[in-house]
């Protein structure tokens, strides 16, 4: 049974935080009181009933799809590598469209084979954005803190701005902002309407100075907002984004090896505490009266016909 509390419905869970089959994850997220879910390509392609069955399960859950992840190492490649990555990108967009997701997350490249020229990076992102237009999808480009050329948010904003595609914007991940110790005023230079997604998490030690430490921490030791040692920084980030005018979704991007061997209901309850902390204590939104609660919405995602690609 989904709980709608009204003051934290813009916070959602990510399937990567949970163990079990897709249906169990969706049930745990809905039972945890969330109204939206961020999905990974793995959720669809590894479903025993196939991609169509996975998409049906998502629609049946009543959860809105926050976004779909993740396209990696896409930009600034040449020759066969570029062609290969275009095929991968096309296939990811088809999955994203079939799911009914309006946002595809793209992480900055880590490949040493990629060009480091920002105009070149912007040109490829613009091409990807055009590819996404007929699918009805927006591209959220995120600076991985161990990215080769783009590893900080200001640099990601620079190439998004250069690309100048309306459906290309930023994905902001608190982990990478914390890892690179980004000052919050860097966000002031960003057009907040171009932030298409915010992902939130914390971790349990202060600093991750090297790329190796960042990768290890990001992939195994994240925790929900309010559970780590950067509680104040995460709260400041959320408050700052809202003060700038951000009104989009916040998704909990919590990769944690412990959480994927615990009961999904237990993990979802921890995520719920994080959402309530952010909604009520950090953003100080009032708890709505029962009469103010919205009725349970039906899923509004209309699956788009998958585009048939050249074989």
Partner 1 sequence: MSTDPELLDPGHPSSLHGIEFIEYSTARPLALGHVLELMGFQPVARHRSREVLLYRQGTMNVVINAHAAQRRDDPADADDVRISAVAFRARDAAAAYRRALDRGAWAVPTRVEVMELNIPAIHGVGASRIYFVDRYREFSIYTVDFVPIPCVDQQPPAIAGLHWFGLVQHVGPGRMLDWIEFYRELFGFAPIPDDQRFGILPEGRILCSPCRTFYLQLVEPSPGTAGLVDRTALPFGSAASPGTAGLVDERLARLGLGTSDVLGAVRALRARGVDFLDSELAGPAERGALTRGLPAGVAFELVRDHRPPPSQS
The minimum distance between CB 131 and partner 1, in angstroms, equals 4
In the bound state with partner 1, the residue whose beta carbon lies nearer, of 50 and 134, is 134
The minimum distance between CB 171 and partner 1, in angstroms, equals 18
In angstroms, rounded to a whole number, what is the distance separating the alpha carbons of residues 81 and 113?
9
**What is the DSSP pairing of strand 250-252 with strand 11-14?**
parallel
In the bound state with partner 1, the residue whose beta carbon lies nearer, of 88 and 184, is 88
Structure-block tokens of residue 58: 């998502």
The minimum distance between CB 136 and partner 1, in angstroms, equals 6
Structure-block tokens of residue 29: 């997220």
With residue 227 as reference, give the H or E element that holds it: none
In angstroms, rounded to a whole number, what is the distance separating the alpha carbons of residues 244 and 190?
9
> What residue ranges bind partner 1 (CB under 8 A)?
90, 126-131, 133-134, 136, 164-167, 300, 302, 305, 307-311
The minimum distance between CB 167 and partner 1, in angstroms, equals 5
The minimum distance between CB 175 and partner 1, in angstroms, equals 29
Residue 75 makes CB contacts below 8 A (sequence gap 6+) with: 108, 109, 114, 120, 121, 124, 125, 128
Structure-block tokens of residue 302: 């209309």
DSSP 194: G
Give the DSSP per-residue string, 86-128: HHHHHHHHHHHHHHT-SEEEEEPP--TTS---HHHHHHHHHHH
- Please say whether the beta carbons of 168 and 138 come within 8 A: yes
The minimum distance between CB 163 and partner 1, in angstroms, equals 9
Residue 158 makes CB contacts below 8 A (sequence gap 6+) with: 118
In the bound state with partner 1, the residue whose beta carbon lies nearer, of 289 and 305, is 305
In the bound state with partner 1, the residue whose beta carbon lies nearer, of 130 and 212, is 130
In the bound state with partner 1, the residue whose beta carbon lies nearer, of 21 and 136, is 136
Provide φ and ψ at 70, rounded to 5°.
-145, 140
In the bound state with partner 1, the residue whose beta carbon lies nearer, of 18 and 129, is 129
The minimum distance between CB 117 and partner 1, in angstroms, equals 17
In the bound state with partner 1, the residue whose beta carbon lies nearer, of 28 and 159, is 159
């Amino acid at each position: 049974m989904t709980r709608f509390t009204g003051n934290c419905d813009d916070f959602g869970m990510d399937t990567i935080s949970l163990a079990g089959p897709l249906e169990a994850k969706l049930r745990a997220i809905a039972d945890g009181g969330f109204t939206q879910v961020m999905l990974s390509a793995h959720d669809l392609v590894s479903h025993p009933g196939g991609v169509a069955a996975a998409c049906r399960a998502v629609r049946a859950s009543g959860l809105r799809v926050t976004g779909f992840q993740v396209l990696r190492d896409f930009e600034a490649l040449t020759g066969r590598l570029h062609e290969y990555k275009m095929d991968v990108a096309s296939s990811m967009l088809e999955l994203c469209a079939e799911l009914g997701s309006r946002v595809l997350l793209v992480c900055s490249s880590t490949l040493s084979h990629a060009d480091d020229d920002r105009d070149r990076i912007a040109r490829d992102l613009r091409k990807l954005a055009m590819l996404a237009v007929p699918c009805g999808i927006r591209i959220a480009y995120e600076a991985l803190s161990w990215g080769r050329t783009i590893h900080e948010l200001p640099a990601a904003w620079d190439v998004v701005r250069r690309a100048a595609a309306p459906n290309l914007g930023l994905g902001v991940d608190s982990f990478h902002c914390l890892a690179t110790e980004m000052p919050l005023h860097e966000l002031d230079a960003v057009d907040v309407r171009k932030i298409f997604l915010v992902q939130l998490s914390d971790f349990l030690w202060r600093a991750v100075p090297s790329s190796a430490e960042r990768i290890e921490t990001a992939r195994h030791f994240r925790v929900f907002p309010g559970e780590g040692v950067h509680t104040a920084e995460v709260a400041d980030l959320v408050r700052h984004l809202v003060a700038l005018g951000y009104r989009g979704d916040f998704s909990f991007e919590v990769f944690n090896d412990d959480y994927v061997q615990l009961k999904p209901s237990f993990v979802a309850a921890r995520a719920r505490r994080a959402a309530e902390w952010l909604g009520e204590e950090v953003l100080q939104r009032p708890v709505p009266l029962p009469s103010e609660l919205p009725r349970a919405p039906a899923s509004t995602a209309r699956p788009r016909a998958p585009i048939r690609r050249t074989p």
